[in-house]
Structure 1
Amino acid sequence: MNFQKITETLEPVNLVSCLISQQGQLLFEQYREPQLADALDKINSCTKSILSALCCIALDQGLLPDPSTPVSFFFPQLANDPQSQKADITLLHLLTMTSGINWTEFGGQNSFPSMTRTPHWVNFVLDQPLADVPGTRMTYNSGGSQLLAAILREVTGMSVARYAENHLFGPLGIESYTWEQDPQGIHTGGFGMSMRPLDMLKFGQLYAQQGRWGNQQIISQALIHRSTQPAIHAESPRRGSYGWHWWTDTYPDQTGTGLNTPSFDYFNAYGFGGQAIYIVPSLEAVIVLTNDQRVKKKIPLHVFRTAIAPYLLT
């Protein structure tokens, strides 16, 4: 890897942190200020990928039923909904954001802010009408993530955070974090977590190591693979595809490239404002980016592809 080039291209972006590991070794660690290494960063929608990991653990433990299970198993009111196809929504549809629920995360209906202003977030999501047949189209929906968090609390018999501490954070040695909750005390499935960059790297490293940490298989290899495979193509302006609360893509774009052009597949968590965890399986590499500049000054989605990816193969 050409770390000098990476440093040069990242300089104008002014990130809070950039960490790169390969084969489990931390090779690049850069912070805007040294004290930021121990600060908790709001990881926003990267929380979704942690929720995905917890769902996989619950599946491995037999606590969560097969992803083909209808969500009405947990929310019986869906079976009696006037829109009969709402009863067809499955766990897999929630994981892949293909529930068909009429939702505009920001703008338009402004569904996400509307949800957070209600006294019962889960009921708000369940009450939304369908816009598409379940399973046919991806619509980014943090409300669906909140349904998954509510389901996890039900099947595990404990809070989502406690379950994470027992079966994910504990084994990884992640001790410092905060996690928001909805009015019913359900930890937020689609956002709301804060953690240190080094702990974000640990989480990414777990996936780079096929779910294994030390002598413990925290997530089965089968579910690591299944959850990070492209499940449905993302519509413009988003790029790539979506798995189980993970984004998937290839670098570089294959159109117009020669047969011998080096390339790699990757999957990543991404949170508003420039929080990201990238895993490149073929290189056994994990890249963590954090930022604190919001709105117009936020880090662009393509910073990984322009400032880091070109130099991972050199």
Structure 2
Amino acid sequence: MTLPRSTPADQGLSSAGLDAFVAALDASEQEIQTVMVLRRGHVVLEREWSPYRLTDRHLLFSVSKSFTSTAVGLAVEAGLLSVEDKVVSFFSGDDLPETISDNLAAMEVRHLLTMSTGHAVDTVDRLGRTGRMVQGFLRLPVEHAPGAPFVYNSGATYMLSAIVQKVTGEKLIDYLRPRLFEPLGITEAIWETSDEGVNMGGWGLSLSTPSLAAFGQLLVQRGVWNGEQLVPAEWIEAATSAQVDNSSESNPDWQQGYGYQFWRGRHNSYRADGAFGQYVLVLPDHDAAVVMTSASPDMQETMNVIWEHLLPVLEGKGAEGDTSSQPLELLPPAGPTPPAGNGRTYRFAPNDAGISAVRLDADGSGSFTFVASRPWESGEQEITIAPGAWSEQTYTLPDPAQRIVTSAYGDGDSFVGTIRVLETPFVITLRCHPADDGLTVDVAFNVGFGITDQTITSEPV
């Protein structure tokens, strides 16, 4: 089903106010890539910042958690589990530790849902993202009694995915496909899978912006879609209500309570959100939802833009009159043509950037050979980066392949290449410095977890 489109005026909104909201997003330091606003079940705003496209898949990070919660709600409705079930009751054999502590024994599904498992810190880094992650989670110490203070815990969401798979016999994505995705018209969903064959749950889901908008509208409608109750209204009410106190969090829109894998926000809002600014924001008081993908370094600042520039429009404020929507575009970095290269191929030892070879040619272009360096990649690929406008290519290491765009410029004697991986928020800058008989490449990511910069140096000939 395609969501109906409407003029803002027909839904009681100011077109000029919505344009001013888009202009504020564009002027902010938060790189917005796509945005949609829904009001009274109609799309009243949809914009994309070229070269990004609304219809492309986008990696959603922790927005995935809210879809995992929805799957749990469907399994609860089907009588396959309850939120009071003990976590350890779903597992056996060497998944379980030899001695089950009192705190682990007391942990319930609802503690996984509300991030109140009793762990002192997020478990995800301690259990790792490879190997037997269920076993790793269950063997970690549980420092406090479950129900203890809120601690954001992506490992807990992975366990929810594993539990759904245990009770349904299907991976999370396969369980959701006929029950949620297909009724909403979502056909492009992909979800990263662990070594033990479980969808990651807390991260790894990719959907297009319109698909996120459909999910947002389903939430606005309390689980009803096309006249059918897809998700129990009682589950959505519980999942989006404040189940635990999280006032110790640092930002105001992250201090309003946490539900079942949904954040409460200011102005009686709630949302699914993911790292670097992926949002499904619901405003029940205004019969509205906002969906956004971005590469934001400050997610609270993006929320501030919404409250300052969009909320007044939803409240019926905002100037009327002629509006003009300027093209939205993320331009390649500007600079002179890179210096002519010597055509030599420089080779590199295995590194986290996945670069095995670089060649800088006389025409100012550079060729970079990437090899698989992440679990979801395989093979190798040469990517050419040349000066001028964005050049679109296909990134073939992941499956399915993804769109990328590239461009280059010169900075003194350095070649500076940029790669935008368009189905993610990631932008890679490759600054190449010829030195003596070798080549040094400074690799920088615009956003990331932990260290985002590294330097690699070519091997001696």
Give TM-score scaled by structure 2 length.
Answer: 0.60
**Structure 1 stretches of at least 4 aligned residues deviating more than 3 Å after TM superposition:** 76-82, 113-118, 307-311
- In the other structure, the counterpart of 2:287 is 284
Q: Does 1:123 align with 2:170?
A: no
Given that residues 103 and 144 in structure 2 are in contact (C-alpha distance below 8 angstroms), is that contact kept between their aligned partners in structure 1?
A: no
Cα displacement (A) at 1:69: 1.4
Report the equivalent of 2:233.
221
State the match for 2:44 in structure 1.
27
Within 1, Cα distance between the matches of 2:43 and 2:129? 41
Kindly provide the amino acid, as one letter, of the partner of residue 291 in structure 2: V
**Structure 2: unaligned runs, 5 residues or longer:** 1-12, 318-461
Work out which structure has the larger RCO, using CA pairs closer than 8 Å and 6 or more positions apart in sequence.
Answer: 1
Assess if the C-alpha contact under 8 Å between 1:102 and 1:129 holds in 2. no
Partner Cα separation in structure 1 for residue 25 and residue 175 of structure 2: 37
Give, in whole Å, the separation in 2 of the partners of 1:92 and 1:6.
Answer: 38
Superposed CA deviations along residues 202-231 of structure 1, whole A, max 9, x for unmatched, are 011111011000021101111111111101
CA distance in 2, matches of 1:23, 1:304: 21
Matches within 5 A, 1:50-65: 50-63=67-80, 65=81
Determine whether 1:233 maps to 2:245: yes
Give the letter aligned to residue 24 of structure 2. T
**1:134 match:** 146
Structure 2 distance, partners of 1:115, 1:85, is 18
Pair 288,213 (structure 1): closer, same or farther in 2 beyond 3 Å = same
Query: Is 1:182 matched up with 2:194?
Result: yes
Q: Please point out which of 153, 156, 160 is paired with 2:168.
A: 156
Question: 1 CA distance for matches of 2:313 and 2:24?
Answer: 10
For the residues of structure 2 that align with 1:69 and 1:80, how far apart are their CA atoms?
Answer: 21
Gaps of 5+ in 1: 105-110, 252-264
Question: 2: CA distance between counterparts of 1:47 and 1:220?
Answer: 19
Max Rg structure: 2
User: Normalising by structure 1, what TM-score?
Assistant: 0.87
- RMSD of equivalent CA atoms: 1.8
Whole-Å separation in 1 of the counterparts to 2:192 and 2:65: 13
Residue 240 of structure 1: CA displacement? 1.5
**2:161 matches 1:144:** no
Structure 2 partner of 1:267: 270
Displacement of 1:125: 1.1
- Work out the percentage of aligned pairs sharing the same amino acid: 26
Query: SS of the counterpart of 2:182?
Result: helix
Considering fraction of residues, name the structure with more strand.
2
Q: Contact 2:33–2:52 at 8 Å: present in 1 too? A: no
Q: How many residues align?
A: 290
Matched, 1:170 2:182: yes
Q: Distance in 2 between matches of 1:208 and 1:302?
A: 24
Q: Counterpart in 2 of 1:45?
A: 62
Which residue of the other structure, out of 180, 196, 199, is the alignment partner of 2:211?
Answer: 199
Query: Match of 1:108?
Result: none
Q: Equivalent residue of 1:301, what SS?
A: helix
User: SS state of the match for residue 143, structure 2?
Assistant: coil
The change in CA–CA distance for 1:310 and 1:114 in structure 2 (over 3 A counts) is farther
Checking the alignment, whether the CA contact within 8 Å between 2:130 and 2:194 is kept in structure 1 is: no
Provide the C-alpha distance between the structure 1 equivalents of 2:193 and 2:19, rounded to a whole number of angstroms.
41
Contact 1:156 1:163 in 2 (8 A): yes
Select the residue among 114, 119, 134 that pairs with 1:96: 114
Deviations 1:90-143 (A, max 9, x none): 010000000112333xxxxxx434433441111111111112210121111111
